[in-house]
Amino acid sequence: MDELHHECGVAALYYLPSRGDRSPVWTGDPDQLSRLMPRMLLDLQNRGQLAAGMATYNPDREQLVDTYKEVGTVIEAFRINHPPKYASIMEEYAGRGAIGHTRYATCGATKRSYAQPFERRHGCKWKWFAFAFNGQLTNFAELRAELLANHDYHLTRDNDTEVIMHYLAHEVRGDDRPDLVEVFRKLATKFDGAYNLVFLNAMGDMVVLRDPIGLRPLVYAQDGPVFGAASESVALQNLGFRNIKSLEPGHMILIRDGELTIHQFAPSPKKAHCFFEWIYFANVSSSFDDRSVYLSRARLGQELAKQEKALGRIPLDPEDTVVVPVPDTGKAAADAMAFALGIPSVEGLIRNRYIGRTFIEGANRADKVRLKFTPLREVLSGKKVLLVEDSIVRSTRLKSLLHHLRDQGGAREIHVRVACPPIIAPCFYGIDMSTVKELFAPKFMAGKVPTVAEQDAMAKELGADSLFYLPVDAVARCIDLPAEKLCRACVTGDYPTPMGEQLYQLALRNHATGNSDGRTYDRPTEPLVCSVTDAGQT
């Protein structure tokens, strides 16, 4: 509801002739396999709508690696609604290997030059590469500062993707074809944070890589000669892939000379899967790390029902009480909650799916809510509404929505139930909430667990009749993963990486001194030990 955005989604495809010649996923010319990439990216559109692109490999054309990218949604970027232009793009950039990307910016501008994949051209084929990136380097400011301080570098973009490109260029600079496992092993000693990468060079080598603590999801599958990987399983499933697996943290898939191998490129003593993926970001059809997004959200709703029964503060009469999800991510939790309580779950809010992103950009918060949601007065008027929200981050649009439900929907009472604990700390791993100031809950909470009185104060501020959050310990139960294998930093203040903890302390200091403008991770702190001596490009 607060329009949280993710850093990005990544995808990869490759045709492996050594693995047979038949696959229901793709029966056409191997050098046209890249035509499937826009379809994959459509299923990753929830992870970024600012830009989309792909880079492809084709040994039979002059541009061995070539990159197409544009600002806009996948449909806009690839001109899918203009068949002749779409066909022309698909023909020009056809290849047997492809990497793709959908972008939302947590750092950097919204211009085309920031769209991914990034390509670095070179006369030596193994130094000519493209890559795409999902996540956030928490030590971005330090890495960037070291590049600029120690070498004759000029960085044209203010984001960590360009920094990664320069480090990659440094590691492949030698006179011999590099060992890509060793390349990424060295980079893992320098990078802190969340980083999933897809990489393709002019030798036809491909790398699909997940960071050592597995913050962001990454899945893969192979069907005969066709290999695919993506941020979410739905992108592979809808192409017909079966036996989809999660790539283990600290591991990479390497395709070299037509052969696929899996390697551990970095130790992974600690796992920290972002719990927000299951609660909010991921497509409800997806599964990753062997956990279904839909089932996890349904269990969140069951937990909400248990809490509602235990508190017993609100009489629940099925004749005048309804559960209403905030579309779309609140629906699975709302349905499960309503079933457990024995009261109706109704779609009292209808989301307008046909209003374009650009059309609503200039509207104020109240107008954005009116443009995006229509309350159904026929089912809300005079009712006691349990409004199920997936999370509350900044609260600004939720306030407008509550007013809209009363004014246009005629709801008699609105009781907000949040299928997530209070967000009390920023995220430095690829979600666009990087300061304490912008968060709603910390303004009311003396500790890390909200009291009933504090939740009542929040409800009053929002304009709700009551408000309750899920407790922190419910998250691990609902996802069915041990708490120690989840990143829950935004609800606990405990960060899984050293730089994340440093940035949190900086964010707290900035908030205490009123210096909270700008993103916390743009500000240099005490540098980590990650030397980049002689990182020149050759």
Q: How far out from the chain centre does Cα 165 lie?
A: 21
Contact 33, 23 (CB under 8 A): no
Query: To the nearest 10°, the Cα dihedral for 172, 173, 178, 183?
Result: -40
387, 326 contact by CB (below 8 A): yes
Out of 8, 107, 274, 478, the active site residue is 8
Q: For 143, list phi and psi in degrees, rounded to 5.
A: -60, -45
Per the CB < 8 A criterion, the answer to whether 168 and 46 are in contact is: no
According to DSSP H, which parts of 214-292 are helical? Answer: 233-237, 276
Query: For residues 186 and 209, what is the distance between their CA atoms, to the nearest angstrom?
Result: 13
User: What is the distance of C-alpha 523 from the center of its chain?
Assistant: 23
Cis peptide before 328 (omega within 30 of 0): yes
The secondary structure of residue 481, as a DSSP letter, is S
d(CA 524, CA 503): 9
Q: Are 203 and 177 a contacting pair, CB within 8 Å?
A: yes
Q: What is the DSSP string of 424-439?
A: -S---SSBS---STT-
Helix spans in 43-159 (H): 74-77, 83-92, 140-150
Is 487 one of the annotated active-site residues of the chain? no
Provide the annotated active-site residues: 8
